[in-house]
Structure 1
Amino acid sequence: MVTQEFPSSSSNASNVSMAAFSSSVPVVNSTVPGSVADFYNGKSVFITGGTGFMGKVLLEKLLRSCPGVSNIYLLIRPKRGQVAQERLQQLLSSPLFDLIRKERPNDLFKVQPIEGDITQPELAISQSDRELLIRSVNVVFHSAATVKFDEKLKLSVTINMLGTQRLVELCRRMPNLEALIHVSTAYCNCDRSEVKEMIYPPPIGPDQIVSLVEALDEDLVDSLTPKIVGNRPNTYTFTKALAECWLKENKGDLPLVIVRPSIVLSSMEGPLKGWVDNWNGPTGIIAAVGKGIFRTMLCEKEKKADLVPVDIVINLMIVSAWRIASVKTKDIPIYNCVTGQRKPITWETFVQLCFSNLRTHPLSQVNWYPDGTVTSSRAYNTINQYLLHFAPAYVMDFVTWLTGGRPIMIKIQNKLQKAATCLEYFTTREWEFDDSNVKDLSQTLSEADRIEFQFDVAKIDWNQFLENYVLGIRRFIFKEDTSSIPKARKQISRLYIVYRLVQIISVLMTWHFLTLRYAPLRRMWSNSLRLLMHLARMLPFM
């Protein structure tokens, strides 16, 4: 079994019984009672992944827009000597919760930590906490996952698949459960160019892959990972696809919904426009571009970049729970939370807008003027990496070492190179994600709910959003106040002059070197200089 060639999910075999995996979501009851906020009145919510980027936005939005919610339980793993309660207090001290702390501080007491670990049997939740959850929870949001693209397969299976299975086992014991929202990814079927809102048959059974990684040594699993993953780019998309298939086969009567966001960026609206608190995805690259230390990337400029604001994803999750609880269905509703169909943006436009905003709202203490290129030529990109990334990094580290400092630029460039390589699969390809279910869901909302829980991606203003995104990176990643922008602009203006002078000198030196080696170029260069001198002498008489 270990050496088996797993068939691609795009093979003919994958089309067998495709209708069985469809999520047309037939409706049993078409009446939708009450507003979204009213649905959460008196409800208890359980969230996994609540300490992550999306989990924090979900928690804040539930507290702010669903004030009638009774309790929100967060699964929190003790970490770095901090118990769950300490991590919760640290989480709630984030600027994201400033508005709630100011207007309704008592609502923060609704949030209660549940100490546990998604990687452990029974989620490592104590008996008393399990009984509490089983007795009281009405809505579960499962967003816990490893989002590292290059995660080892064994750990990715443990978190993304076994963690999901353990959560489902707990949910089956909840008599009052009305909605279970599983957060997947639009790219779990990235081996297909067209992705509908349905679960596709996997190239290998979920139970088979679990048995495989549990039976084999981790080093052997690592060596077999490329063959096991097949034509998917990483273990993340692979295990997310298998988790969906396992849920399809094992959900039973659970009120399950699957939400699939594409590439998640900062928040678009309140309470903090541009809020982002991690380096994942393009954010780390854009931050490095703003510092002037990242200048080239492999990319198909004309292809669509399917990017989505985090608050749009969260609003969709909250509404989808209301929908599945209010309108019973016979199948699994699946929502592709994407922008490529109704508000597309190309990678070229994305990069240009980011560059423009990084120069308008520059970071403080930048290493070099923010500029660079995206290219579809792998050879050209590799040359640029050595010339524009690693060569300057070695020089800077050498100077740092001479002055008694700690050289770090090579280490930083290695990390950036790794991140860029992980993104290459997504920046050089394009997908057509169907989002019909999302559009239909929006139509079921009242006008007030459509405003409060806005997830219509057609309303995105990319110019404004990306300006707030860059400002968010500046404020929340680098902790820089907007008052420092005028000073940073002066610095960036000086760097621009130096940058252009260096470019001119480099061109002249290259040309001079070529003219010394090739006689025709040397004669051309001499003639050009004589002509310039002649014109210069003529200027006073013109």
Structure 2
Amino acid sequence: MTMTREGGDITYADMVQTVPEKSKIAQYFSGGHVFVTGATGFLGKLITEKLLRSCGDLEKLYLLIREKKGKKVADRGAEIFDNVIFEQLKNEQPKFMEKVVLVAGDCIKPELGLGGDDRETLLKNVTCVFHCAATVKFDEKIRTAAYINVRATRDLVNMAKQMINLKSFIYISTAYAHCCRKDIQEVVYETPITGEKLLTLVDTCSDDFLNKVTPTLLGEWPNTYVFTKAVAEEVVGSSARGLPIAIVRPSIVVATAKGPLAGWIDNMYGVTGITVGIALGLIRTLHCKKDCVADIVPADYVINSAIAAAWSIGNKESMNKEITNDNSEVSVFNYVCSTQTTITWRVWMEYSKHYLKQVPSPLQLWHHFFILNSNYFMHVLCVILFHYIPAYVVDFLALCIGKQPLLVKGYQKVGKFTDVISYFAVRQWDFTNQNTQSLYQRMSPVDKETFGFDLREFDWDSYFYSFARGGRVYLLKDPIETLPQGRVKYYKLLVMHYALVAFVCAAFLGVCFCILKLFL
């Protein structure tokens, strides 16, 4: 027998075997059956991956998937798991697909388009619901937006009332659902029209009539997306009382910060689309107040907060008395950065410029320069000078060589997109997130490490380093190996840009000189 230690006093620690602390959140989901809507979307993919990887004892994960463009549910399901974010999961848990059940359905249809057998399976087994499905098109027709964002939520809440094993239900909304208010607290607000009345309206009226009354319906809301999300919250607040349900409201969701991959994103919505447009040299101006807060939050932190919220409302021992909602029994969690760490649009632009220069893409069309205009008329002038005049010139040259002109139409779409974003870039809101902060404080050290979402000491510099590279690799599908070609093109476009600027300035001065000569 070999002694590894001689002499000295024997302490209590020597006699007690240290047991590693386990994740309470992972234990909560152990043996659970989780239903996720919007599984093919950005947050849906991340929730799916996180639950499978970090809650290894999960029994079943039901994913609601619709057929799309002739692709069957099984094919679309396979596409989800072919995504690069599932590589780590595949390496750690090769048999994870045994837990996944693909459920055919469509949120635009009544009762989510579920078949009878699938519905019965869900009612019998589901312990937790993550309702992520939504149409996020800001200019969506009111009928479509109401069906997907409001009716699907109502029907799923009604299903939840029949789920005999339900422990928690999380509805993913948006912090801007009530953007017509300056102060946004963690409560369910009333809306000018209830969900039932809105659905009755879209069920009984023609498309022409709905198009005419949409501006009246929206009132102070800027678009159908945030309006129908607000009405969906009203549905949850009015019909879900007594259910273990919570609303999670993230602000502007951007690429992941840490896991499973830093900088991963799969869509061009919002700030991400603007940043990629800048990187390609396409977008050159935005109506924006530079010193307003850019309330952006990384997607992996968002889904961690949603998973933690499910644990909190589903586990009575974890409930914090400070988590309250004055207006209903439904708990609301505002997930925003502005209450903990401040980043302005000016800082966003500085970070973007700095890191986009480091990883230029050979797909770049022109040297990127960008102006944040707080004055709307200056913004319009810049749109004419830097978007439309070059677009008309290029389209004219395209016609001359027998090619189809595309740039003007492209910039018309860009204009609609940036106009939507500018609404949120020239305003600032005062959010409260006491519930969210209280939730984080209740979590164990292990859970804070695994499901962390605290933004108090968030490193924005490191984040934008990953963000710039992620946009290049995951959105433009341009591997980092093409960086040498990208740098060559970057410097060519830089020279061309300043040569053009010099030519235009010289031409302008020449015209001014000629005009002066006429009067001298």
Q: Same fold (TM over 0.5)?
A: yes
Note if contact 1:73-1:114 (Cα within 8 Å) is conserved in structure 2: yes
Q: Which amino acid aligns with 1:219?
A: D
Supply the distance in 1 between the matched residues of 2:90 and 2:235 (Cα, whole angstroms): 40
Q: 1:454 aligns with which of 445, 452, 460?
A: 452
**Contact 1:43-1:138 within 8 A present in 2 as well:** yes
- Aligned counterpart in structure 1 of residue 433 of structure 2, from 432, 435, 439: 435
Amino acid at match of 2:341: K
Are residue 99 (structure 1) and residue 99 (structure 2) matched? no
Residues 306-336 of structure 1 deviation map (CA, whole Å, 9 limit, x = unaligned)? 1010001100011110111112688221100
In the alignment, residue 395 of structure 2 is paired with which amino acid?
D
Letter paired with 2:307: I
Alpha-carbon separation, structure 2, partners of 1:488 and 1:521: 50
Q: Which amino acid counterpart does residue 332 of structure 2 have in structure 1?
A: I
User: Does structure 1 retain, via aligned residues, the 8 Å contact 2:35–2:126?
Assistant: yes
Code of the aligned partner of 2:174: T
AA of the residue aligned to 1:464:
S
- 8 Å CA contact retained: 1:189, 1:241: yes
Alignment of 1:209 with 2:198, yes or no, is yes
Q: Is the 8 A contact 1:178 1:325 kept in 2?
A: yes
Could you tell me whether the CA contact under 8 Å between 1:101 and 1:108 is conserved in 2?
Answer: no
Tell me the distance in 2 between the aligned counterparts of 1:193 and 1:122: 35
2:471 equivalent among 469, 473, 491:
473
- Does structure 1 residue 42 correspond to structure 2 residue 48? no
Partner of 2:132 in structure 1? 143
1:376 aligns to 2:365 (yes or no): no
Aligned counterparts of 2:462 and 2:502: Cα–Cα separation in 1: 34
- Letter in structure 1 aligned against 2:426: T
Aligned to 2:400: 402
SS at match of 2:98: helix
The answer as to whether partners of 2:23 and 2:447 remain within 8 angstroms in 1 is no
Aligned to 2:500: 502
Deviations 1:38-71 (A, max 9, x none): 1111111000111101100110111111111111
| Structure 2 partner of 1:54 | 43
**SS of structure 1 residue aligned to 2:261:** coil
Q: How far apart are the structure 1 equivalents of 2:219 and 2:139?
A: 14
After the TM superposition, which residues 163-174 of structure 1 pair with which residues of structure 2 at under 5 Å, given as runs? 163-174=152-163
CA contact (8 A) 2:73 2:102 kept: yes
Q: Residue 51 of structure 1 contacts residue 91 of structure 1 at CA under 8 Å; is this kept in 2?
A: yes
- Once the two structures are TM-superposed, the CA of residue 345 in structure 1 deviates from its matched residue by 0.7
Q: Which residue of 1 aligns with 2:173?
A: 184
Cα distance in 1 for residues equivalent to 2:488 and 2:519: 40
**Secondary structure of 1:360's aligned partner:** coil
Q: Which residue is 1:286 aligned to?
A: 275
Return the alpha-carbon distance in structure 1 between the equivalents of residues 495 and 443 of structure 2.
54
Query: SS at 2:456's partner residue?
Result: helix
- Tell me if the contact between 1:156 and 1:236 (Cα under 8 Å) persists in the aligned partners: yes
What's the offset of the Cα at 1:225? 0.8
Q: CA deviation at 1:487?
A: 2.3
| 2:18 matched residue in structure 1 | none
- Equivalent residue in structure 2 for 1:426, among 424, 428, 450: 424
Task: Quote the Cα distance in structure 2 between the aligned partners of 1:515 and 1:412.
Answer: 36
Given that 1:285 and 1:416 are in contact with CA atoms closer than 8 Å, whether structure 2 keeps it comes out as no
TM-score normalised by the chain length of structure 2: 0.91
Q: Distance in 1 between matches of 2:351 and 2:518?
A: 43
SS of the aligned residue for 1:187 comes to coil
- Deviation at 1:520? 11
Q: Distance in 2 between matches of 1:282 and 1:224?
A: 30
Please report how far the alpha carbon of residue 501 of structure 1 lies from its aligned counterpart in structure 2 after TM superposition: 2.3
Q: 1:191 to 1:434 in 2, by over 3 A?
A: same
AA aligned opposite 1:67: G
Partner of 2:388: 390
- Distance (Å, rounded) in 2 between the aligned partners of 1:89 and 1:77: 13
* Partner residue in 1 for 2:146: 157
Shift of 1:34: 6.5
Matches for 1:255-274 after TM superposition, within 5 Å:
255-274=244-263
Residue identity in the other structure for 2:392: Y
8 Å CA contact 1:298, 1:381 repeated in 2: yes
2:75 matched residue in structure 1:
86
Q: Which residue of structure 2 aligns with residue 7 of structure 1? A: none
Q: Which whole-Å deviations, capped at 9, do the CAs of 1:7-66 have from their partners, x for residues lacking one?
A: xxxxxxxxxxxxxxxxxxxxxxxxxx9611111111110001111011001101111111
The residue that corresponds to 1:234 in the other structure is: 223
CA distance in 1 between partners of 2:64 and 2:38 (Å): 7
**Displacement of 1:386:** 1.6
- In the aligned structure 2, how far is the partner of 1:185 from the partner of 1:465? 22
Instruction: Look up the equivalent residue of 1:134 and give its one-letter code.
Output: L
Distance apart, 1:210 and its partner CA: 2.0
Change (3 A) 1:520 1:35: farther
SS at the partner of 1:135? Answer: helix
Q: Equivalent residue for 2:349?
A: 351
Equivalence for 2:15: none
The question of whether the paired residues in 1 share the 8 Å contact of 2:336 and 2:433 is answered with: yes
Match of 2:9 in 1: none
- The aligned residue for residue 183 of structure 2 is 194
The alpha-carbon deviation at position 338 of structure 1 amounts to: 0.4
Give the aligned length.
Answer: 490
Cα shift at 1:362: 0.9
Match of 1:540 in 2: none
Equivalent position SS for 2:256 = coil
Shift, 1:264, TM fit: 0.4
Q: Which moved more, 1:340-349 or 1:492-501?
A: 492-501
Once residues 275 and 380 of structure 1 are traced to their aligned partners in structure 2, the CA distance between those partners, rounded to angstroms, is: 34
CA distance in 1, matches of 2:58, 2:519: 77
Q: Note the residue ranges of structure 1 that are not aligned, 5 or more in a row.
A: 1-32, 523-542
* 2:65 is the counterpart of 1:67: no
Is the 1:48–1:141 contact (alpha carbons within 8 Å) kept by the matching residues of 2?
yes
* Secondary structure at the counterpart of residue 180 of structure 1: strand
1:349 positional shift: 1.1
Q: CA deviation at 1:407?
A: 3.0
Note the C-alpha offset of 1:194.
1.0
Is residue 254–residue 265 contact of structure 2 (8 Å, CA) maintained in 1?
Answer: yes
Q: Kindly state the Cα deviation for residue 169 of structure 1 after the two structures are TM-superposed.
A: 1.6
TM-score (norm 1): 0.88
CA contact (8 A) 1:358 1:370 kept: no
The alpha carbon displacement at 1:410 in A equals 2.1
Q: Residues of 2 paired with 1:407 and 1:239: CA distance?
A: 37
- 2: CA distance, partners of 1:34 / 1:103: 18
Contact 1:515-1:521 within 8 A present in 2 as well: no
Q: Distance in 1 between matches of 2:403 and 2:81?
A: 37
Match of 1:251 among 212, 224, 240: 240
Tell me the equivalent position of 1:16: none
Asked if 2 retains the 8 angstrom alpha-carbon contact of 1:196 and 1:433, the reply is: yes
Q: How far has the Cα of 1:207 moved from its partner?
A: 2.2
Once the two structures are TM-superposed, the CA of residue 180 in structure 1 deviates from its matched residue by: 0.3
Could you say which residue in structure 1 is the equivalent of 2:360?
A: 362
